[in-house]
Structure 1
Amino acid sequence: MPTFHRVLFAFLLFLTSTCLFAQTFQADLIVYGGTSAAITAAVQAKKMGKSVLVVSPDIHLGGLSSGGLGFTDTGNKAVIGGLAREFYHRIYLHYQQDSAWKWQKREAYGNKGQGTPAIDGENRTMWIFEPHAAERVFEDLVKENQLEVHRNEWLDRESGVTKERGKITEIRVLSGKIYRGKVFIDATYEGDLMAAAGVSYHVGREANSVYGEKWNGVQVGVFQHNHYFYDSISAFRVPGDPSSGLLPEISSEPPGRNGEGDQRLQAYNFRMALSRNPENSVPFPKPDNYDSSRYELLARVYAAGWDETFWKYDPIPNLKTDTNNHGPFSTDYIGKNYDYPEATYERRKEIIQEHEDYQKGLMYFLANDPRVPEKVRKELSHYGLAKDEFTDNGNWPHQIYVREARRMIGDYVMTEHDVLGSKEVPQSVGMGSYSLDSHNTQRFVTPGGFVQNEGDIGVHPKRPYSITYGTLTPKKEECNNLLVPVCVSSSHTAFGSIRMEPVFMILGQSAAAAAALAIDEGIAVQDLSYKKLRKVLLEEKQVLEN
């Protein structure tokens, strides 16, 4: 046999064997993602009699809800219904057990929540919790509902989505496994399935002119939280001398004009679980590539008299904290995530490691550097990483806080007009109530040579608002059997409110209900009767109007 034919035969044999031996799985609904929205979606599908497979790139389920965000961003808790409320009820039941209080007496906890008590005995819900407690609830939901979850399975984003006549027929993951379904749900923070399926989306901030908004786009000089430089602090290595170069962690790029759109993203960080109990804490590790000079800007903030280090060390049970960003220079790694949404998996791992190195270095600096006020170092000496959290990851959160990545562009785009109540929202599938909340997107040099942050927004709606079904569905001509409950169709400002974990759970459940009804009728998700969907959602105790 000629060499060419031998090579061709071998290649055809390889293709045949690959097709024959590739593991193929099938279900009515395929949910891609391991977030809180993914689990509520899968539970709802099971409740409606549908077979469902959860294909999770994550090993740990629950996303940020089990990844450190235990001081829940809720807004008005009365509008949290359905499986989301069930989750917080189960958290309540967990902390009713004496065994849950290992490092702190229940009566010593203090019961501080965001605007309401952490433990709501009247409604039997609890809104503040430890990461491992949340993960246990998600695992209980998986077990009780006999959900099939395939973990550590990553979508082949290059060629892993097969479509026929506007429908996704199957997806393939990097391990070679194939998943076939009638309807698919993208419940990832990144929107990877949505993007690979050819659905339109946006990354970054739209110009205010796109949707007639006020709070989108560049917002230089707008300070609505405490995350800006109160004092005039030089941006240069030698104060006042531009020739000395910029300090680390400051961009040399101009910030842009107010209202202009850009590709910048609000900053990411890790929501650390810190412990004040010496028996349950681990000293802050010194990263191998630690360089104290990158925190010189924070040293100057302290020298100017800033004294708010511990304002967002929010208490969660058992002498722990959900530690979030606060102040002009904190755990947010500003300006270092712009390429994350579109990046390869390899590049994303690098970005995540860069964030981890920055944040671990920051904590080591705070705990040890003599430029940090002694009272801060003394107070921080009482803290360490919680020894009983994230035990398979060096006590470090396994989920980076992807506050915003891709956002779908569907037939209906939620904007700040919907969220702030200036227009009526049709076909509600859930409600939100949190402020338009964007963390800073950039740190730049002012014309006077001083450093400043930009992008921080915190505008409160007057009342809770409805979220329309159209935010979950792509344009029909792009894909008619996909629902997207996390990277929803919304502007940057609207997403700043929608992007809360309770809302993701609500929308995950509603998306699955819609998927089940569309499967029953054999129709596109865009053609589903809202009347039928509404009936199911109300039966499932979703709150649709205020």
Structure 2
Amino acid sequence: MKKLLFPLCLLISTQILAQQKLDADVVIYGGTSAAVTAAVQAKQMGKSVVIVSPDTHLGGLSSGGLGFTDTGDKSVIGGLAREFYHRVYLHYQESGAWQWQKKEEYGNKGQGTPAMDGAERTMWIFEPHVAEQIFEDFIKEHNIQVYRDEWLDREKGVKKKKGRIVSIRTLSNKTFTGKMFIDATYEGDLMAAAGVKYHVGREANSVYGEEWNGIQVGVLHHGHHFGKMNISPYKVPGDPNSGLLPKVSGKDPGKRGDGDDRIQAYCFRMCLTNLPENRIPFPKPEGYDPGQYELLLRVFNAGWRETFNKFDPIPNKKTDTNNHGPFSTDNIGMNYDYPDATYVRRKEIIQEHEQYQKGLMYFIANDPRVPADVQNKMKEWGLAKDEFRDNGGWPHQLYIREARRMIGQHVMTEHETLSKRDVPHSVGMGSYTLDSHNAQRYVMPNGFVQNEGDIGVSAKKPYRISYGSIIPKKEECKNLLVPVCVSSSHIAFGSIRMEPVFMILGQSAATAAALAIDGKDAVQDVDYEKLKTQLLKDKQRLESAR
């Protein structure tokens, strides 16, 4: 027996070691909707592929609460993105999909478009669990290997040779070797670790000759501001010596058009319901402090009554609940260090956002100082029991609206998104409003509080997105594509950053990766005409019919 013990241990150790070293043609880092479409496309083009996902749940925000889709002009959404929304449509054609209401009771409200488009057989509004199941179906149907809860070693985990990534290693000591790599994270961690240049924050207007980038002091667009309410930010109203209320910055907001390192606010897109049988009352979070919401009380006392305006309806008497108004679910100013932060620090930021938002809902529903008309209505609402079941009804994904943005071969700016300048080498289209949420809450010279950064500038028609915006400069990396943290200015990213576009760009990135493998090319040397031909074959929409 003793003689057999050592060879047996050696065999087991060799098997374990082998399991830690994995190889694929295309290695995708991330668990977002872009990661899934990229993986499906790579597989359909005959390439081996693996998804290395720090997330347990696939789909990012598309399965994380953002069910009231930011479509823009849906006619330019094609390929696997359109297939996703087609599958949503098919799901809700089944009578069994309507557990908590009848289909005809739902209505058909979407964001600028009908929720259900019978002629196109697409549906743009959906429950989180439905989206996640569709992403899982994509993975199962294409037999795609997914390694979940695998976190890139950002310090030493990227091995490069002659300008190419050779392999990536995760904190669990798994090594993934590939010919092509795709960073499909919201944060751009692989991109950064690979030495690709990027930007965080808002560029000054002067950098790219823009009008709507940079600090937006004095610009009040969406109504997510204090308007003319003249609310004091001080603990004792009107007395600066009393100190500032929580969630108000005492720093100089800066000058309009200047650049800064502030980023637009994050929030969780809660899935709520007012159906008693499926409702979880808003929980009181650990460390709850009602003093954090004093400013909201002053907003209510000023007569503001728009709390429920962005409880957007999704099927089965649920909502996709978004930020709305001067003091809402956006945790303004609390995320500046998130993009470059360590995993530990990011976890702290996410937990702080969760505590803030859970506390906000509990406060409105329970604090006796909240106006009765608002409180009584809020008491009717709660988290949906049948969503995010493994997390008490709370979304598993914080809405990372913006983090790092690559400075790649081509930078998309407002000139391209507003169709003032031609875009070469289209790999997809965008059409949504140039949209940014607030980046700071500050004290104006008159002593009243105001929000800054919220902006919405209409893209009057769909625009092309350049292949150069999803690839780095050649001297930085030759086999990496970045379909989420795309090369763009802050304000251009405000339009590009929509989930359908991420799916589109994920598919296009994988197409380019496959062609680069076939031609033994750097991604920067892929023949665009071949790429275009393949994208059109796969029903991507590269030009607008308008």
Give the alignment's TM-score, normalised by structure 2.
0.96
* 1:172 pairs with 2:160: no
Q: Quote how far apart the aligned CAs of 1:288 are.
A: 1.4
Query: Which residue in the other structure is 2:249 paired with?
Result: 251
Query: Which residue in the other structure is 1:12 paired with?
Result: none
Any stretches of 5+ residues in structure 1 without a counterpart?
Answer: 1-15
Aligned equivalents of 2:147, 2:15: Cα separation in 1: 20
Query: Which residue in the other structure is 2:44 paired with?
Result: 47
Aligned equivalents of 2:18, 2:50: Cα separation in 1: 20
* 1:194 pairs with 2:191: yes
Distance 1:108 1:22, change over 3 A: closer
Q: Quote how far apart the aligned CAs of 1:371 are.
A: 2.0
Aligned equivalents of 1:390, 1:19: Cα separation in 2: 33
Pick one of 29, 32, 41 that aligns with 1:35: 32
- CA contact 1:22–1:176 (8 Å) conserved in 2: no
- CA contact 1:22–1:178 (8 Å) conserved in 2: no
Alignment of 1:114-193 (within 5 A): 114-193=111-190
Query: Which residue in the other structure is 1:513 paired with?
Result: 511
Aligned equivalents of 1:401, 1:210: Cα separation in 2: 27
SS of equivalent to 2:334: coil
- Matched residue type, 1:524: A
* 1:528 pairs with 2:530: no
Alignment of 1:385-400 (within 5 A): 385-400=383-398
Q: Quote how far apart the aligned CAs of 1:357 are.
A: 0.2
1:50-76 deviation digits (Å, cap 9, x = unpaired): 000000000000000000000000100
The 10-residue stretch of structure 1 (171-180 or 112-121) with the greater mean CA deviation from structure 2: 112-121
Alignment of 1:23-422 (within 5 A): 23-230=20-227, 231-422=229-420
SS of equivalent to 2:389: coil
Aligned equivalents of 1:88, 1:506: Cα separation in 2: 12
- Matched residue type, 1:321: T
SS of equivalent to 1:392: helix
SS of equivalent to 2:130: helix
Any stretches of 5+ residues in structure 2 without a counterpart?
Answer: 1-12
- Matched residue type, 1:286: K
1:207-228 deviation digits (Å, cap 9, x = unpaired): 0000000111101010110100
Aligned equivalents of 1:270, 1:112: Cα separation in 2: 22
Aligned equivalents of 1:35, 1:464: Cα separation in 2: 24
Query: Which residue in the other structure is 1:488 paired with?
Result: 486
Q: Quote how far apart the aligned CAs of 1:276 are.
A: 1.4
Aligned equivalents of 2:120, 2:47: Cα separation in 1: 31
Q: Quote how far apart the aligned CAs of 1:492 are.
A: 0.1
Query: Which residue in the other structure is 1:5 paired with?
Result: none
SS of equivalent to 2:390: coil
Please report the RMSD computed on the Cα atoms of aligned residues, expressed in angstroms: 1.3
Distance 1:19 1:474, change over 3 A: farther
Query: Which residue in the other structure is 1:435 paired with?
Result: 433
Q: Quote how far apart the aligned CAs of 1:380 are.
A: 1.1
SS of equivalent to 1:272: coil
Identical-pair percentage: 71
SS of equivalent to 2:40: helix
Q: Quote how far apart the aligned CAs of 1:19 are.
A: 11
Alignment of 1:459-478 (within 5 A): 459-478=457-476
Aligned equivalents of 1:165, 1:233: Cα separation in 2: 58
1:57-96 deviation digits (Å, cap 9, x = unpaired): 0000000000000000010000000000000000001101
- Matched residue type, 1:245: G
- CA contact 1:31–1:52 (8 Å) conserved in 2: yes
- Matched residue type, 1:396: W
Q: Quote how far apart the aligned CAs of 1:45 are.
A: 0.3
Give the alignment's TM-score, normalised by structure 1.
0.96
Aligned equivalents of 1:110, 1:50: Cα separation in 2: 42
Q: Quote how far apart the aligned CAs of 1:22 are.
A: 6.8
Alignment of 1:16-27 (within 5 A): 23-27=20-24
Query: Which residue in the other structure is 1:3 paired with?
Result: none
Q: Quote how far apart the aligned CAs of 1:348 are.
A: 0.4
